[in-house]
Structure formats: C-alpha cells, structure tokens
Amino acid sequence: MDTRHEHRRPVVVTERGSVRGVTEEGGVAAFRGIPYAASPVGDLRFSAPRPHPGWNGVRDAARSGPEAPQGHSRLEAIMGPRELHGDEAGCLTLNVWVPEGALDAGAPPRPVLMWIHGGGYTTGSGGWDLYDGGRLAALGGIIVVTVNYRLGPLGYLQLPELGADNLGSQDQAAALRWVRESVAAFGGDPEAITVGGQSAGAYSALALALDAGTRGLVRRVIGESGPWGLEPQEPAEAADAAAHYLRLLDLPGAGALRGLPVERLLEAYGRLVVERARPGNTAPPTYPVRGGALTATGWREAVAGGALRGTDVLLGGTQDEMTAFLTVTSFDEPLDVVAEQLFRAGITEIAGQCARDGSPAYVYRFTRRPPGEDDGGGIALGATHCAELPFLFGTFDAFRDAPMLGRVDAADRALGRAFGGALAAFTATGSPNGEGLGPWGPWLPSLTGVPEPEPGAATASGPGPEVMRFGPATR
C-alpha cells in the first residue's frame, strides 16, 4: 500500500481500491462510506459477510453509506428524532477520521479506536452525525473508525437453514479484520486497536475482545453502558422468535425471506417487537445467540477463564441508566435496583476479574444531567442511558433536539473535552490519565475473597475501588 496526500482531498490507496476523503475542521481527514464487505443483497441476504470485490479508479469517500435497514429507535424520545435512509445495498461500510499530520510521510503510526454504535441490535448507524469521529480524532491524535452492521431481522434472526448465525456480529468481526489489514494506509497502527462501543455496541466490543477468532486483533476495549446483565439469547428462545417471525409473514419456511421486499421484513419485525414485549424486559426479540458466531459462551464464562488477560479495559455507565427505558416499558422494581442488575454489577465483576488476572480495569461513572430539569413533572431523565455520547464525540449540535442533553454551556464543552480526552488517552496508552486529566487509578478490589463493594466515590489513592466521575464536579 501507499498513500498520496493532496491539499484538501487526500487520497489513500488500500488493497481494495483508492479512496478520496475530505479535510475538515482541525485538519482532520475524513474518509466515509468505505465498503469493508460486499453488499448483503440477493443471495447474500442472510449470509455471512463476503469480501468486497474492490473497485477501479478513485472512490469518493466524502459521504457515509446508508444505514442498515431499520425502524425508528425506541429511544428517540430522549435522543431526538432521526430520518431514516436505510438500504441493504452499500450498508456494510465504515468511516475513518485521521488527525492532522498522520498521513504525512514518515509520521509515526497512530493508535486506533474502532467504535460500534448501540441501538439494541435493532437501530443505529456509524455514519450518523451523532458519531462523527472528527473531534475525537483531533482531541486525542488517534484514528477513529465507526462501523455499520446488519440489524434486527437481517442481522440477528437465527436461521440455520439459511446459514444465518449472529450475522451482525460477524459483520463487526469483518470490519475489525478490515481495520487490522487496512488502517496502516491511513496512518494507523494495526497493533494498537481499541474496540469500543456503547450499550449493544459495548456488548459487541467485549465479544470481539473475548472471541478466539478476533481477540488477537484487540489491544484494548472500551465498554460504555453495556447491558452486562443480559445473557446471550438461548438457542431455543431464538428458534421460537424466528418461528414467530415467519408466522407473522405467513411463510412456511425461511427460504422465501431472501426474495421479500425489505419493507415487509421490517414491518413484520416491528410487530414481533410488540407481540413479544413484556413489562420490565428491555431486550429486543433477536440478539446474539449463545453458541453462535462470536458468542461461543456468555461473557461471564469467557472473562472468568482469563480471556481478557493482557487486554486493557475501560468500563463505565451513566448515573441514571434506566430512566431512558421508562418510555419503552414499566418496571416493578426500583430503577436503581434494575440498573444494578442490568448494568453496574457486570462492570464490577469484569473489572474485578481483570484485577485478579493482573491487568486491572478502569471504571467511570457519568453524572451530568440536563440543566433545569424539572423533577416535578414528566420523566426526570438525570444522567440517563446514552447521555454521555455527545460528550465523547463532541457532537452537541447533532443532539440539539435530544431531551437527554438540554442546553449546553462552556462548562459542558469542557466536560466533553475531559471525557473524550480520557477515553482517547486510554486508546493511546491504556490509561485514561494524560495532560490535564486524572490522576485516576484502576479498579483494585480486595484480592482476598472479600466481596467487592459497589462503585462509590473516587478515592485519591491507595487500595480499593476507584471510580472516575464525569459530571459537574469534573468541570
């Protein structure tokens, strides 16, 4: 591979073909909509990702590819509305942001963050402006990559007769392999790849760090608000969901699915979501299946078996995770109890095992809440699920209609620089400490068999747990 750097439209030559990006604010070069796999259309619908055949000439990489086909997010009430332009053709793409100077001849290779969006394995896109990686790339001097993957029925229906097996997760693995093989052409270091994500993306990032086929490609992992209390879907449950879905489409078997319009597939999936909904259940009807691709076991067994040994880990969540889901379902137990079960207990379990394995993890808690929030009427969101995303990427304008964000001031932007800076520093060095950041220590529970305490206030030094707090006090 070689690289040519033009003034405003840099061209990078990869093994599949050349791409022409754009130079944006802060001198960051953006390359969007790069295919990492062939379009999953025709006979490739419900098939494992196949290599992209490549292209002749120079491909324009100024715009992101379409999102994977999907319905509207159930969290639009807190994140803001989103126009959808999904298309199976061209949806398996990724986006690369390169900090200024990284494409220069002789420049040292930069650490890489491959980010996997959340959305309950049902919605989202790495190409949306919510996840624009330019500011984070400039802030940390790192390469940022965001990826699309198949969602909902196209990504997670388990259909053995078609060979459909955790296809969205297989897409993520294919994207990771593309990054390993191609990121050097963009000035990245293929030996310093961090996989990160939020919510379902956090769960997915950890799966890549644990799976025998991909963990050798992962140096570090970041998990934001992962639903660690959600066990992989059991095969019998996945089979029942698939059978229910086929009944909704009035199909005797899965063979006809490849020929149906995608709109019919999405409409039936929307009905499946409604018919399988249960109070207190936030899980989608289809998600990674135990024993399938990238999910040979649950994360608990893999972590206990030492699969994260030698991998740098940073985990965390928001103070009020569950308020976001009050627009989706109701809960019989207090929200803090549900949050402990679904989100927080897994953080301390993973971090504790990392410490016992000799590679302690860093743990954070995001506490900033929308200003002027009225606790007396409506849902008080607090620091709800997804609230940290605009602070990580610095994409406040993209979230301007999000109730979870509210009015943004200079202190919020400073908080964003602190939060994004800490995660970028971790991507680069394995520690969130850096210039103007920290000092923070890792999570160090007792190694004597004493039960690990719940994350509490950060300690200045010494043994015991330490939680990085990102909120008003950080400012």
330 strand-pairing partners: none
The CB density around residue 127, as the number of other CB atoms within 10 Å, is 24
Distance CA 31, CA 10 (A): 9
Active-site choice (385, 388, 431, 466): 385
Q: Cβ distance 455 to 315 under 8 Å? A: no
Q: Treating both helix axes as pointing N-terminal to C-terminal, what angle do 235-248 and 262-275 enclose, rounded to 10 degrees?
A: 120
The CB density around residue 375, as the number of other CB atoms within 10 Å, is 8
Per the annotation, the verdict on 225 as an active-site residue is no
Q: Cβ distance 378 to 344 under 8 Å? A: no
Per the annotation, the verdict on 321 as an active-site residue is yes
Residue 252, token pair as written in the block: 């005797």
Phi, psi (deg, nearest 5) at residue 177? -65, -35
Phi, psi (deg, nearest 5) at residue 32? -110, 155
Residue 311, token pair as written in the block: 């991998």
Phi, psi (deg, nearest 5) at residue 353? -65, -40
Active-site choice (18, 64, 169, 199): 199
The CB density around residue 332, as the number of other CB atoms within 10 Å, is 8
Look-up: residue for tokens 């954070």? Answer: 364
Quick one: how far is CA 371 from the chain centroid?
27
Strands 93-98 and 29-35: antiparallel
At 340, the amino acid letter reads E
Look-up: residue for tokens 């690990």? Answer: 452
**Maximum CA pair distance of the chain?**
63
Phi, psi (deg, nearest 5) at residue 193? -100, 125
The CB density around residue 40, as the number of other CB atoms within 10 Å, is 23
Active-site choice (224, 321, 340, 466): 321
Burial degree of 353 (CB within 10 A; 0-12, 13-18, 19+): buried
Distance CA 457, CA 223 (A): 20
Tell me how far CA of residue 113 lies from CA of 80, 96, 141, 391, in angstroms.
26, 10, 11, 16
Distance CA 226, CA 205 (A): 9
Give, for 401, the enclosing helix (H) or strand (E).
none
Residue 120, token pair as written in the block: 């309950």
Per the annotation, the verdict on 431 as an active-site residue is no
Positions marked active-site: 199, 321, 385
